[in-house]
């Protein structure tokens, strides 16, 4: 983890969202990053409501030391794509579900990017996976972080084995 002159960790990941109303979903990305000890920042950056600030955030992200941007938005979710158009960094888009349309509007707005401007889109509400994907991107060049990810994957495998064992026991009790 790199540190600034004042000793504070320089964020490697920017977790941004169109509104603070997205935070209950986007918090899951932040929690995943915290689990792996990845320094991040979180903020509201809206393409629709603050276009100049949004362009500035994307344009300056790499020079500020960010390595990955996670962008969540709901409805006409232009934020992830617009950020991807002004930064060379990988952008992970999180479709946030709103009251109407079950997040399908957010999903389609984020996933249907024109050729040449990729956004790695996770499932509707899939902010935890966005955080884990950001960890994997960083881990590609960080052996310590990769080892943590491998341990995490091992825990998932153990949990799946335990689920199978419980299910087989229950099926056996039913006479299966
Ligand atoms: N999709 C966008 C953008 C954008 O893409 O620039 N800015 C805000 N929003 C979304 O509007 C929804 C409602 O926002 P409010 O709750 O503030 O009314 C949020 O899900 C936000 O991501």
Question: Tokens in use for 62?
Answer: 């790499």
Residue 46, ligand 1, Cβ within 6 A:
yes
Inter-axis angle of helices 51-61 and 79-86, nearest 10 = 50
User: Rounded to whole angstroms, how far apart are CA atoms 69 and 77?
Assistant: 15
Q: What is the pLDDT of residue 2?
A: 59
Domain match, 122 and 162 both: no
The domain of 117 spans 13-141
Residue 6 within a domain: no
Residue 47, ligand 1, Cβ within 6 A:
yes
Mean pLDDT of the chain: 95
Domain match, 160 and 114 both: no
Answer whether residue 1 shows pLDDT above 60. Answer: no
Instruction: Read off the pLDDT of residues 51-95 as tens digits, 9 standing for 90 and up.
Output: 999 999 999 999 999 999 999 999 999 999 999 999 999 999 999
Please count the structural domains in the chain: 2
ipTM of the complex: 0.98
Residue 12, ligand 1, Cβ within 6 A:
no
Q: Smallest Cα–Cα separation from 15: which of 51, 74, 61, 49?
A: 61
What angle (nearest 5°) sits at the alpha carbon of residue 147, between those of residues 1 and 16? Answer: 50
Give me the mean pLDDT over the 139-166 stretch: 98
Which is the closest atom of ligand 1 to the Cα of 79? 5
Residue 62 within a domain: yes
Helical spans, DSSP H, in 36-77 = 51-61
CATH of the domain at 19: 3.40.50.1970
Instruction: Tell me which of 17, 18, 52 to substitute to probe ligand 1's pocket, judged by most ligand atoms within 8 Å of the beta carbon.
Output: 18
Residue with tokens 């960083």: 138
Identify whether the C-beta of residue 109 lies closer than 8 Å to the C-beta of residue 124. Answer: no
């Amino acid at each position: 983890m790199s540190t600034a002159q004042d000793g504070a960790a320089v964020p490697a990941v920017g977790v941004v969202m169109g509104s603070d109303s997205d935070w209950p979903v986007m918090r899951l990305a932040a929690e995943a990053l915290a689990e792996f000890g990845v320094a991040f920042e979180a903020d509201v950056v809206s393409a629709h409501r603050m276009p100049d600030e949004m362009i500035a955030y994307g344009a300056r992200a790499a020079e500020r030391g960010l390595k990955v941007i996670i962008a969540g938005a709901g409805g006409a979710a232009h934020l992830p794509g617009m950020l991807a158009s002004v930064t060379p960094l990988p952008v992970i888009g999180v479709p946030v579900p709103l009251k109407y349309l079950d997040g399908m509007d957010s999903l389609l707005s984020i996933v249907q990017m024109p050729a040449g401007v990729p956004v790695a889109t996770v499932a509707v509400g899939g902010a935890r996976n966005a955080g884990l994907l950001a960890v994997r991107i960083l881990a590609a060049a960080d052996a310590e972080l990769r080892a943590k990810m491998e341990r995490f994957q091992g825990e998932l495998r153990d949990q799946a084995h335990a689920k199978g064992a419980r299910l087989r026991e229950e099926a056996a009790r039913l006479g299966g």
